C-alpha cells in the first residue's frame, strides 16, 4: 500500500456577532472546544458585543455526530491521525478568516484571540506559527500547546497580554495535568496572568465579562 495526499477545496463555516467595518475597535477571534458547534459556542460572547466590537467564531473542519449516528453535530480541530496535515489545514483556514476581516476594521483595532479547550492549542499555534498582529491571548481551560516554542518567541510576545483561565472544578484539568502545564509555561517563560474561577469546563459569562473589561482599559 502507498499513502498519498491531495489538496482539495473545502467549504468552511464561521459565525459572527457584530458587523465588520471601520467602526470596529475590538475584534475577537474565538475557537471552540472539541465536539462543540461554533454557531452555539459564539453565543457565550453575546454580552461583549456593542457597536465597536466584532466576534468571529470559525468552526473546525471535521464534523461528526456527537454520541451516536444521528442527533447533535460537533466538530474537531484535529486528531492524532495525519496530525501535521490537519494543523496546516486549520492554520491556513484561520489565516483566511483573519485576512478577510482585519483589513475591514479600524486601523487601531485591538485584537483578542481566545481558545477554549481544544481551541486553546489551536489558536496558540495560529498565533505563534503565523504571527498575525494581535494584542491579547486568552487560553481558557486548555494548555499552551506543548509543541510550540514560546521561549524562542519572547520578542514577538513581549507586548502582548496573555491569560490562562481555569475553573476549579474542571473535570478535564486534573491537578496533575495543571501542574504539568504550569511547568511547561515556567520552562518556556510564558508571561501570563492566571485567572481561577469557581466552575467546571465551561466559558463562564461573568468571568469573561470581567476579563473583557480589563482588555479595554
Q: Which pLDDT tens digit goes with each residue over 73-106?
A: 999 999 999 999 999 999 999 999 999 999 999 9
Task: State the pLDDT at residue 58.
Answer: 98
Domain ranges, residue 172: 14-215
CATH of the domain at 158: 3.40.50.1820
Candidates 193, 204, 40, 34; CA nearest to 117 is 34
Indicate the number of domains in the chain: 1
- pLDDT tens-digit readout, 129-159: 999 999 999 999 998 898 999 999 999 999 9
Candidates 53, 8, 50; CA nearest to 27 is 53
Separation of alpha carbons 60 and 119, rounded Å: 9
Classify residue 185: in a domain, yes or no: yes
pTM of the model: 0.96
Separation of alpha carbons 170 and 197, rounded Å: 10
Share of the chain above pLDDT 70, in %: 100
Q: Are strands 26-31 and 53-58 parallel, antiparallel or unpaired?
A: parallel
Amino acid at each position: 500500500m502507498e499513502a498519498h495526499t491531495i489538496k482539495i477545496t473545502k467549504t468552511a463555516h464561521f459565525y459572527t456577532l457584530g458587523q465588520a467595518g471601520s467602526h470596529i475597535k475590538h475584534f475577537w477571534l474565538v475557537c471552540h472546544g472539541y465536539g462543540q458547534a461554533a454557531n452555539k459556542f459564539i453565543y457565550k460572547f453575546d454580552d461583549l458585543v456593542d457597536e465597536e466590537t466584532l466576534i468571529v467564531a470559525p468552526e473546525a473542519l471535521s464534523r461528526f455526530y456527537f454520541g451516536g449516528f444521528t442527533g447533535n453535530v460537533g466538530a474537531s480541530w484535529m486528531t492524532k491521525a495525519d496530525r501535521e496535515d490537519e494543523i496546516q489545514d486549520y492554520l491556513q483556514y484561520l489565516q483566511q478568516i483573519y485576512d478577510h476581516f482585519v483589513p475591514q476594521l479600524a486601523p487601531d483595532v485591538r485584537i483578542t484571540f481566545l481558545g477554549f479547550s481544544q481551541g486553546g492549542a489551536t489558536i496558540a499555534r495560529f498565533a505563534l506559527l503565523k504571527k498575525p498582529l494581535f494584542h491579547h491571548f486568552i487560553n481558557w481551560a486548555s494548555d499552551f500547546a506543548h509543541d510550540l516554542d514560546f521561549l524562542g518567541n519572547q520578542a514577538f510576545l513581549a507586548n502582548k497580554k496573555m491569560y490562562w483561565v481555569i475553573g476549579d472544578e474542571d473535570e478535564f484539568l486534573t491537578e496533575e495535568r495543571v501542574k504539568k502545564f504550569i511547568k511547561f509555561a515556567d520552562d518556556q517563560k510564558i508571561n501570563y496572568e492566571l485567572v481561577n474561577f469557581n466552575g467546571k469546563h465551561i466559558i463562564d459569562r461573568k468571568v469573561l465579562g470581567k476579563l473583557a473589561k480589563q482588555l479595554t482599559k
